[in-house]
Structure 1
């Protein structure tokens, strides 16, 4: 397994366990709770936790009245009993609907329901940054969350909102929350990394703590042995999404990736069990 180089900046607590130099094993992430019939519901996340997953991947969106809810799509039609734009309904109106027979879930309630879990939170709209920062400050949950988004601007907006919330909290002050890069950041690493610029990007441009990437983007391979090696040399853990095939999981682990996100909790648990790294809490 590749080992990241030592860094003058310690990893945030969320990621500390995933550094091979510290623990020697990659992380398993339950993607949306790893239950496609009940995705992003408390029932799915509870089941994943009970199966051995400490790290739970999820998405958040804001309702018409500003509540931060665990939900992926821009529209409600695909997975819920409601239809139309998610942002058009209030939290009270969403209370009449379900996903796979389960009620929709506020992020604040998830934080309270699974107090030892860690959450990989994908910001799905621009309005989510500020309430997420406020909730992390309110619940003192800075160490339990990694913030991600395909849009790097949302990640930067979250950082600004977190700084503002921290300065207003005189008892604790600003806190650091782990983040991963969006589409622009990943493109820079893939395109400029072979030119020897991964370390420079890590130190001066990206302001991220890890990279969370697909195996490939279209016809362009992303997770290669060279990519993983360059990221590790720059002290960037590599997490890969979404992988459900056991042979592909094994191949990626042999490359030295630091985490795998999956919709197949049973398959990943079996692969990790064979490697002696399961359960993870």
Structure 2
């Protein structure tokens, strides 16, 4: 759905998600299946984060989405890595923005998690789109876009080249902690759902949600600030909520009880044992 839904419709949704209605809601396995499982940096509890091994594992585990972190090399290649430096997850050192793609590609991004992952490389955005679109949804996080002027335009162009600027069933979502970046993405890709990331209670107020609803379809908070009331408020503004990062079964169970729309997790099987 697009932004700017009338408040009346929002109030109707709030009533739908009221405690009275929820008292009669099904707690069956069928209800559980309505929650999207988002494999955080791939199935990163089982394979090195943001590598083909982790993304393939997520597909194998039948997750609904993979979550990827997009940054840009010194010479303009969009690459998939979480930290703004390569130090933690590779055998190299330095800031992503200061390394050429050739330098980044030469790094081992898997050995830190075990010998069987030796030789895993940092993938490109192009590779991820070409390998996984149509197999699994892709939640694209623009990581520190303020370090990469124009990255929004480049991401938009990559999607348009593949005719993905009008994704079906929200199978492409773009999110960031940088709200200005997401406003820009909304202008460039008005048909692609936008998500705002936050871990701050300041962004759980009615005014904050009203502001987000002008350009975003998702509010994606850290699980520590999720409450039943907050989930209802997000839904009242005709937005969805995907929460992060689940690394324990009890965290998944909590979010399921809160009736979030998606759970971002290193362990897809914590959300749905069938995975």
For Structure 1 versus Structure 2, the TM-score category normalised by the shorter chain is: 0.7 to 0.9
> Within the alignment, does 1:225 sit opposite 2:235 as a pair?
no
Match 2:243 to one of 240, 245, 254: 240
Shift of 1:73: 0.6
Match 2:177 to one of 150, 171, 174: 150
Structure 1 contact 145–177 (Cα < 8 Å) conserved: yes
Shift of 1:34: 2.1
Shift of 1:81: 1.5
Post-superposition Cα deviations, 1:149-196, rounded to whole Å, max 9, x if no partner, equal: 111122123334x25xxxxxxxxxxx5111012449x75541x32xxx
- Inter-partner Cα distance in structure 2 for 1:246 and 1:107: 31
Match 2:44 to one of 35, 50, 53: 35
Q: Which 5+ residue runs of structure 1 have no aligned equivalent?
A: 8-19, 164-174, 217-221, 274-278
- Aligned residue for 2:66, secondary structure, equals strand
- Cα 1:198/1:81, change in 2 over 3 Å: closer
- Inter-partner Cα distance in structure 2 for 1:262 and 1:177: 22
Q: Which 5+ residue runs of structure 2 have no aligned equivalent?
A: 1-7, 11-24, 111-117
- Cα 1:130/1:202, change in 2 over 3 Å: closer
- Cα 1:199/1:94, change in 2 over 3 Å: closer
Show the counterpart of 1:209: 217
- Cα 1:202/1:157, change in 2 over 3 Å: closer
Structure 1 contact 148–155 (Cα < 8 Å) conserved: yes
Q: TM-score by structure 2 length?
A: 0.76
- Inter-partner Cα distance in structure 2 for 1:75 and 1:33: 19
Show the counterpart of 2:267: 264
Structure 1 contact 244–268 (Cα < 8 Å) conserved: no
Structure 2 contact 185–194 (Cα < 8 Å) conserved: no
Q: TM-score by structure 1 length?
A: 0.74
Post-superposition Cα deviations, 1:187-226, rounded to whole Å, max 9, x if no partner, equal: 5541x32xxx5774355xx41001111022xxxxx21111
Show the counterpart of 1:60: 70
In the TM superposition, 1:84-163 aligns within 5 A as 84-100=94-110, 101=118, 102-116=120-134, 117-124=136-143, 125-126=145-146, 127=148, 128-142=151-165, 143=167, 144-160=171-187, 162=188
Show the counterpart of 2:115: none
Moved more, 239-248 or 260-269: 260-269
Match 1:181 to one of 196, 200, 213: 196
User: Which structure 1 residue ranges, 4+ long, deviate > 3 Å from structure 2?
Assistant: 186-189, 197-203
- Inter-partner Cα distance in structure 2 for 1:157 and 1:58: 19
Structure 1 contact 231–237 (Cα < 8 Å) conserved: yes
Structure 2 contact 183–215 (Cα < 8 Å) conserved: no
